[in-house]
Amino acid sequence: MHPEKQKHTFEPKIIAFVCTWCTYAGADLAGTSRMQYPSNVRVLKFPCTGRIDPVFILKAFQQGADGVLVSGCHPGDCHYIAGNFHARRRFAVFRKLLEFVGVDLNRLQFSWVSAAEGGKWVEVVTDLTEKVRSMGPMTEFKELALEEQWSGTIDTPELQEAYNAI
Amino acid sequence: MSRIGVFICHCGENISRTVDVERVAQEIGRLPGVSFSTDYKYMCSDPGQNLLKNAIKEQKLTHVVVAACSPRMHEKTFRKAVEAAGLNPFLCEMANIREHCSWVHENREEATVKAIDIVGMMVERVKKNRVLPTITVPVTKRSLVIGGGIAGIQAALDIADCGHEVILVEREPSIGGHMAQLSETFPTLDCSQCIMTPKMVDVANHPKIKLYTYSEIERVEGYIGNFQVTIKKKARSVDEDKCTGCGVCITKCPQKKIPNKFDCNIGLRSAIYVPFPQAVPNTPVIDRDNCTKFKTGKCGVCQKVCGPGAVDFEQQDTLIVEAVGAIVVATGFDLYTIDEKPKGSPIKGYGEFGHGKIPDVIDGMTFERLASASGPTGGKILRPSDGKEPKQIVFIQCIGSRAREKGISYCSKVCCMYTAKHTMLYHHKVHDGQAYVFFMDARTPGKSYDEFWRRSIEEEEAVYIRGMVSRLYQKGDKVVVMGSDIAVGVQVEIEADMVVLATAIQPQKGADSLAQKLGISYDKYNFYSEAHAKLRPVECATAGIYLAGACQGPKDIPETVSQASAAAAKVMTLFSKDQLEREPIVARVREFGCVGCFACKKVCAYGAVEEKEIRDRQGNLVKTVAFVNPGVCAGCGTCQATCPSKCVELDGYTDEQVIAMIEAL
Ligand SMILES: Cc1cc2nc3c(=O)[nH]c(=O)nc-3n(C[C@H](O)[C@H](O)[C@H](O)COP(=O)(O)OP(=O)(O)OC[C@H]3O[C@@H](n4cnc5c(N)ncnc54)[C@H](O)[C@@H]3O)c2cc1C
Ligand code: SF4
Ligand code: SF4
């Protein structure tokens, strides 16, 4: 049933950002149905695609991801009414930006996978893995060391001062 | 420094068959911050959970990661266990190494490496987890029902019978809605008034129901358990407390030539009126647009004849504020007006069908009024133009419905059935008459529905013609119907005495503006959207608001009543507690950084973001910042990803947590 396992010289790292309600559940279904797909993907769960900040995608590439997948509920099915529409608009703009920066957009995939679409999850992950494998490693961003990172705490004197002023 | 405990589950052999669990436990044990790492055959079993609880106590663990199945399966189980051992439940995370790993990969080495990654990622995440307090909000155990059709009536009675107060708001002078207008009802042909009016009287007499008729919702504030609703009570010009409902004013009012909307404008009423004799409440209302006193200052007959002195020309609209914990929306439907394209609507009209131009082309509801024993013709089928009994009658189904090119693609669901009913009522009343029906499909799912439809053909001799009508026109005193019979492939032309159009069910007018006041979502037709099409069909996505009846989509009476009782049950579930507990996954604004751009407010579909003023000690306004109301926030996080100054944070999914996970990979 399963094709002869091939040995590849390059195993891409794929990071997937998915929403809890649709795609995460769809991936769970692929598991309960014992479907098989390449093990390259690592899944990060969010309540909604609306929560997915484009910064996370950049961060993933910096961190050595060769491909990134963002997947949520089908348009109109959002558990939070319209989060996926906001996500869709945000990422439409973000793709333009990435393209401008020179990132090959084939490395970044958006899809809608519902909680009933275990098969589609397998397809999307397998296709992206194969596509990125054929493209080779992503090198552009790894060289960019992260210079400044917002930590979410008031850790600089300037911030502390601003805070105290209120 | 954190002391993280990691527990790797074998899940019998489900995980350990493909993942080397011991190796995972070992490698994870070496990560900084991890002070305890072990594997166990069944973590979810009692001994497994005890292992977890004991380890928390003995090892003084500060955080916990359970690597096992999907969190959708057992997150609650383990968070409960952690809580029982004295830790905040939100300091426990699950790493999914079954559905996302052992079950979908065969290669043991690959699966083990992936499992280590997944667990490692959750370890880094849990380090950044914060103690989250359970959020509780008080519940006001009173409920608002908007719309007094059969849906609203049923919901109100069910809730009130459980002992909770209900505020029922109806826009028209009487409750009853469309069901009060129907003659007899499918599939049993029982008289609508006979089954409806007792329920209306029950509402009027129920000690727990406060009825506001001729009233509308002005404003809705607050959130689940704690809504403040402002109701506008329109001036009736008759004092409800004084009026005894004797009706002298109605008989004496000289202004009697006003088309009665309740009778689809074929009957007439006076300027001071009740829409129909069984109206609840039975208090008349003055139609100020048509009253001589209001138009010219003269007359005032009703005031003179009214014994208790109830007529009050000076009465004003009043605003009333009511506090409620739950809202049932039951605003029902309207019929598609086919004569012209409604203003500003993308939906095209059916001008070619002559409704509104040819007097003997009527809609289904008008036919109901003609057939009704209490209607303007006393139940005789008489056509509007000359009052003659139509001997040939044509019914046309799917007017507006299922016509994508006209702008409505849905099926109105009840027309096939009520048209079948109309052919029967017609045949019962006009024995020598002939009914024709143009239809596309007969859609009759429902208990005893198909049998009912067949009866109209087999026993009541209605002739069903499958095909569409292309044109209607007046010829002498006949209406010529031109159509095609696609079953035989011929053109048909019928000279009818009267034509009845089964027009589409649409949401009632103003459905969208009410939705905006309530903060609930609606589809492109203005039908209100349920939270989940299959599993949460009576709840809105906005917590504390429920749907009943045709405002959510076309429905017949049995379905409407079921949904209304279901909505009432949901309200009762909410009212069964004094305090409402909810997952503390809500957004919070870091006020010092917020610049008050309110980008978050624009994207929040729940209206959870409010504006908050920050003042210094002297009371001077420093700035206005965003504030997320934790009772309303649903926890989607869209605001956080939108905030340009990164000042909103969704608890449980903070940037810190996400970045830590990405960095772990
Ligand atoms: C011609 C025809 C024949 C039918 N025959 C049958 C039949 O034989 N058997 C059957 O099972 N079904 C039949 N139906 C369907 C039936 O009428 C509906 O299922 C039922 O009336 C739906 O009830 P409802 O309470 O949801 O809506 P409605 O009856 O429309 O009631 C809604 C109420 O809300 C009020 N309202 C609206 N907006 C507001 C607002 N903003 N504020 C306050 N109040 C508001 C309205 O005034 C109205 O009183 C028929 C329908 C039609 C059109
Ligand atoms: S005052 Fe108006 S409502 Fe009263 S009797 Fe005269 S016309 Fe009728
Ligand atoms: S998390 Fe979602 S629901 Fe909560 S305030 Fe932000 S946008 Fe609104």
* Cβ pair B252, B306 in contact under 8 A: no
Instruction: State the Cα–Cα distance between residues B142 and B327, nearest whole angstrom.
Output: 9
* Cβ pair B228, B221 in contact under 8 A: yes
Cα B385 to ligand 2 centroid, rounded to whole Å: 29
For residue B265, what are the CA distances in angstroms to B176, B336, B384? 18, 16, 10
Task: Name B369's Cβ contacts closer than 8 Å, sequence gap at least 6.
Answer: B181, B183, B262, B263, B264, B266, B267, B375, B376
Q: Is B541 on the interface with A (CB under 8 A)?
A: yes
Instruction: State the Cα–Cα distance between residues B432 and B185, nearest whole angstrom.
Output: 23
Q: Is the dihedral of CA B15, B17, B21, B24 positive or negative?
A: negative
User: Over the stretch B552-565, which tens digit does the pLDDT of each residue have?
Assistant: 999 999 999 999 99
Q: What is the token pair recorded at B263? A: 């009778």
- Residues of chain A in contact with residue B603, where contact means CB-CB under 8 angstroms, are 50, 86
- Under the banding of pLDDT at 50, 70 and 90, the label for residue A4 is very low
Instruction: State the Cα–Cα distance between residues B104 and A32, nearest whole angstrom.
Output: 9
Q: Are strands B434-439 and B463-466 parallel, antiparallel or unpaired?
A: parallel
Helix or strand (DSSP H, E) at B579: strand B579-582
Asked if pLDDT for residue B353 goes beyond 70, the answer is yes
Instruction: State the Cα–Cα distance between residues B151 and B155, nearest whole angstrom.
Output: 6
Select from B638, B645, B655 the residue whose CB has the most chain A CBs within 10 Å, as the one to mutate to test that interface.
Answer: B638
pLDDT at A154: 66
How close does chain A come to B161, measured CA to CA in Å?
33
- Residues of chain B in contact with residue A81, where contact means CB-CB under 8 angstroms, are 521, 529, 541, 605-606
- Residues of chain A in contact with residue B605, where contact means CB-CB under 8 angstroms, are 80-83
Helix or strand (DSSP H, E) at B487: none
Asked if pLDDT for residue B342 goes beyond 60, the answer is no
Letter for the amino acid at B587? A
User: Over the stretch B465-483, which tens digit does the pLDDT of each residue have?
Assistant: 999 898 888 999 999 999 9
Higher pLDDT, A87 or B59: B59
Mean pLDDT of B50-62: 95
Select from A81, A151, A160 the residue whose CB has the most chain B CBs within 10 Å, as the one to mutate to test that interface.
Answer: A81
- Start-to-end CA span in chain A (Å): 66
pLDDT at A64: 87
Strand order in the sheet with B434-439: B361-363, B498-503, B392-399, B434-439, B463-466
User: Over the stretch B568-603, which tens digit does the pLDDT of each residue have?
Assistant: 999 999 999 999 887 889 999 999 899 999 999 999
- Under the banding of pLDDT at 50, 70 and 90, the label for residue A80 is confident
For residue B619, what are the CA distances in angstroms to B74, B594, B615, B616? 50, 19, 5, 5
Spell out which residues line ligand 1, taking CB within 6 angstroms. Answer: B 146-152, 169-172, 177-179, 182, 185-186, 216-217, 330-333, 335, 364-365, 368, 414, 418, 421, 508, 510, 514, 549-550, 555-558, 560
Instruction: State the Cα–Cα distance between residues B99 and A28, nearest whole angstrom.
Output: 5
Q: Which fold has domain B136-221+323-332+516-580?
A: FAD/NAD(P)-binding domain (3.50.50)
Q: What is the token pair recorded at A105? A: 């957009």
Across the interface, whether the CB atoms of A48 and B107 are under 8 A apart is answered no
- Under the banding of pLDDT at 50, 70 and 90, the label for residue B174 is very high
- Report the share of chain B in percent with pLDDT over 70: 97
- Residues of chain B in contact with residue A82, where contact means CB-CB under 8 angstroms, are 521, 605, 638
Q: What is the token pair recorded at B613? A: 């003023």
| Spacing of C-alpha A6 from chain mean position | 26
Residue nearest to atom 1 of ligand 2 (CA): B300
Atom index in ligand 2 nearest the CA of residue B286 equals 3
Instruction: State the Cα–Cα distance between residues B392 and B471, nearest whole angstrom.
Output: 17
Question: How wide is the angle at C-alpha B663 spanned by C-alphas B660 and B664, nearest 5°?
Answer: 85
B546 beta partners: B328, B539
Give the closest of A36, A151, A162 to B656, CB-based: A151
pLDDT at B448: 94
User: Over the stretch B130-147, which tens digit does the pLDDT of each residue have?
Assistant: 999 988 888 999 999 999
A152: left (phi over 0), alpha (psi -120 to 50) or beta: left
- Note if the bond before B47 is cis, omega within 30 degrees: no
Q: Which ligand places an atom closest to the C-alpha of B603?
A: 3
* Cβ pair B238, B272 in contact under 8 A: yes
Asked if pLDDT for residue A76 goes beyond 80, the answer is no
Across the interface, whether the CB atoms of A80 and B634 are under 8 A apart is answered yes
> Which of B13-17, B316-320, B538-542 is predicted with the least confidence, judged by mean pLDDT?
B538-542
pTM of whole model > 0.80?
A: no
| Spacing of C-alpha A154 from chain mean position | 29
Cα B174 to ligand 2 centroid, rounded to whole Å: 20
pLDDT at A141: 66
pLDDT at B350: 63
For residue B84, what are the CA distances in angstroms to A88, B37, B412? 41, 20, 53
Domain B4-127, architecture per CATH: 3-Layer(aba) Sandwich (3.40)
Instruction: State the Cα–Cα distance between residues A129 and B24, nearest whole angstrom.
Output: 25
> To which residue do tokens 């009209």 refer?
B349
- Residues of chain A in contact with residue B649, where contact means CB-CB under 8 angstroms, are 152
**Reduced to 3 DSSP states, what percent helix, strand and coil does chain A have, rounded to the nearest 5?**
45, 15, 40
* Cβ pair B554, B413 in contact under 8 A: yes
Same fold, B136-221+323-332+516-580 and B338-506: yes
For residue B620, what are the CA distances in angstroms to A165, B480, B595, B616? 14, 76, 17, 6
> Which of A143-147, B143-147, B646-650 is predicted with the least confidence, judged by mean pLDDT?
A143-147
Instruction: State the Cα–Cα distance between residues B151 and B561, nearest whole angstrom.
Output: 6
- Under the banding of pLDDT at 50, 70 and 90, the label for residue B61 is very high
Q: Is the dihedral of CA B277, B278, B284, B288 positive or negative?
A: negative
Q: Is B25 in the pocket of ligand 2 (CB under 6 A)?
A: no
* Cβ pair B257, B295 in contact under 8 A: no
Q: What is the DSSP string of A89-152?
A: HHHHHHHHHHHHHT--GGGEEEEE--TT-HHHHHHHHHHHHHHHHHH----TTTTS-------S
Asked if pLDDT for residue A153 goes beyond 70, the answer is no
Q: Does domain A14-136 have CATH number 3.40.50?
A: yes
For residue B132, what are the CA distances in angstroms to A28, B129, B232, B587? 27, 9, 41, 12
Cα B362 to ligand 1 centroid, rounded to whole Å: 18
Domain B587-664, architecture per CATH: 2-Layer Sandwich (3.30)
Higher pLDDT, B224 or B63: B63
- Best of B636, B642, B654 for a ligand 3 pocket test (most atoms within 8 Å of beta carbon): B636
Q: What is the DSSP string of B155-200?
A: HHHHHHHTT-EEEEE-SSSSS-GGGGG-SEETTTTEEHHHHHHHHH
The ranges assigned to domains in chain B are 4-127, 136-221+323-332+516-580, 235-316, 338-506, 587-664
Instruction: State the Cα–Cα distance between residues B270 and B483, nearest whole angstrom.
Output: 41
Cα B555 to ligand 1 centroid, rounded to whole Å: 9
- Residues of chain B in contact with residue A60, where contact means CB-CB under 8 angstroms, are 662, 665
The CATH code belonging to domain B338-506 is: 3.50.50.60
Q: Is B285 on the interface with A (CB under 8 A)?
A: no
Query: Nearest Cα to B134, choosing from B663, B652, B664, B662?
Result: B652
Higher pLDDT, A151 or A32: A32
Backbone angles phi, psi at B417, to 5 degrees: -75, -40
- Residues of chain A in contact with residue B607, where contact means CB-CB under 8 angstroms, are none
- Residues of chain A in contact with residue B641, where contact means CB-CB under 8 angstroms, are 50-54, 86-87, 90
Asked if pLDDT for residue B451 goes beyond 50, the answer is yes
Across the interface, whether the CB atoms of B591 and A166 are under 8 A apart is answered yes
Residue nearest to atom 26 of ligand 1 (CA): B549
For residue B141, what are the CA distances in angstroms to B163, B315, B629? 10, 32, 21
Asked if pLDDT for residue B214 goes beyond 90, the answer is yes
How close does chain B come to A144, measured CA to CA in Å?
14
Asked if pLDDT for residue B332 goes beyond 90, the answer is yes
Q: What is the mean pLDDT of chain B?
A: 93
How close does chain A come to B609, measured CA to CA in Å?
15
Query: Nearest Cα to B90, choosing from B584, B506, B455?
Result: B584
- Under the banding of pLDDT at 50, 70 and 90, the label for residue A150 is low
- Under the banding of pLDDT at 50, 70 and 90, the label for residue B343 is low
pLDDT at A2: 47
Q: Is B635 in the pocket of ligand 3 (CB under 6 A)?
A: yes
Query: Nearest Cα to B366, choosing from B182, B219, B106, B536?
Result: B182
Letter for the amino acid at B647? C
pLDDT at B340: 56
Across the interface, whether the CB atoms of B665 and A43 are under 8 A apart is answered no
Cα B496 to ligand 2 centroid, rounded to whole Å: 41
Atom index in ligand 1 nearest the CA of residue B176 equals 49
pLDDT at B524: 82
Query: Nearest Cα to B366, choosing from B272, B261, B479?
Result: B261
Q: Is B643 in the pocket of ligand 3 (CB under 6 A)?
A: no
Cα A71 to ligand 3 centroid, rounded to whole Å: 20
Mean pLDDT of B380-386: 94
The ranges assigned to domains in chain A are 14-136
Helix/strand number for chain A, H first, E second: 5, 4
User: Over the stretch A90-111, which tens digit does the pLDDT of each residue have?
Assistant: 888 888 888 887 788 999 999 9
Nearest CA in chain B to A61: B662
Give the closest of B107, B521, B614 to A5, CB-based: B107
Cα B236 to ligand 2 centroid, rounded to whole Å: 13
pLDDT at A1: 39
> Which of A93-102, B320-329, B540-549, B609-618 is predicted with the least confidence, judged by mean pLDDT?
A93-102
Q: What is the token pair recorded at B586? A: 């809500």
